[in-house]
Amino acid sequence: MYYLALLAAEEGGPASVPGTDEYAASMQRHQEFWTRAQEAVAGGGLYPGSEAATIRHDGGGNAVVTDGPFAEVTEVVGGYYVFDAADLDAALSMVRQIPEVSTGHVELWPMVFWNSQDEPMDTWWAALLREPSGAANEPGSAEWETRVTEHKRFGEIAGDRIKGSGALFPPASATTVRLRDGEILLTDGPFTEADEIANGIYVLSAPDRDAAIALASQIPVGSKGCVELRQIVAG
């Protein structure tokens, strides 16, 4: 089964800024983890939340774009991995080895599916789909199938600009992981500081921020959901 690991921590200082020596050292640690973690099939660091764009839709279907992450939270998602693991225990074993995992938390989500292509480039963007926790659809339900049809239409529009995509199981299946003093602490469900929780992810290719926003604005989300768009830091 595929698992999405969302890496979150407080932002601040040079370690959060691509191009600094501290950030480069962190990326090197993640590269070493990637090299030895055979279960890791995708992943990337993200530019700071201050450079994010959040996309919502008004009642008329128009996209409303705001600068910054989807909500003001203490710990911001700064990267992600996708693991192809035998079960939850195997995925948790991988999470425990992620560099800097002790500085924040990891949301671990089982995925209904995952498709990806190639290694990240500096023109790739992560579009994290978020919905209110009560709005998540059960895989196989009529509501789920309706949403699948909508995403197929988006796939036809986006074509090869989609470099990766995945849907998540409902929030009851998620696990929040913290590592403190070498001890792994598990909490059932996603991190609950914000009302909107992860529901899926796209990896998109676009030459610049405006083009990425224009493409991500066409991703179908619920009336109270949003897309958080973040540029991926190329390795």
Could you report the per-residue pLDDT of 94-130, keeping only the tens digit for each? Answer: 999 998 888 899 999 999 999 987 777 779 999 999 9
CATH number (domain holding residue 14): 3.30.70.1060
Q: What band does 60 get if pLDDT is binned at 50, 70 and 90? A: confident
pLDDT score of 5 more than 90 = yes
pTM of the model: 0.94
CA atoms in the 13 A half-sphere facing the CB of 198 = 33
pLDDT score of 70 more than 80 = no
Give bridge partners of residue 211 from the DSSP assignment. Answer: none
Query: What CA–CA distance (Å, rounded) separates 227 from 177?
Result: 24
- 78 CB-contact burial (10 Å; exposed 0-12 / middle 13-18 / buried 19+): buried
CA atoms in the 13 A half-sphere facing the CB of 189 = 11
Q: What band does 71 get if pLDDT is binned at 50, 70 and 90? A: low
Structural domain count, the chain:
1
pLDDT score of 26 more than 80 = yes
Domain, as residue range, for 42: 2-233
* Mean of per-residue pLDDT scores for the chain: 91
Interval 193-214: pLDDT, tens: 667 899 999 999 999 999 999 9
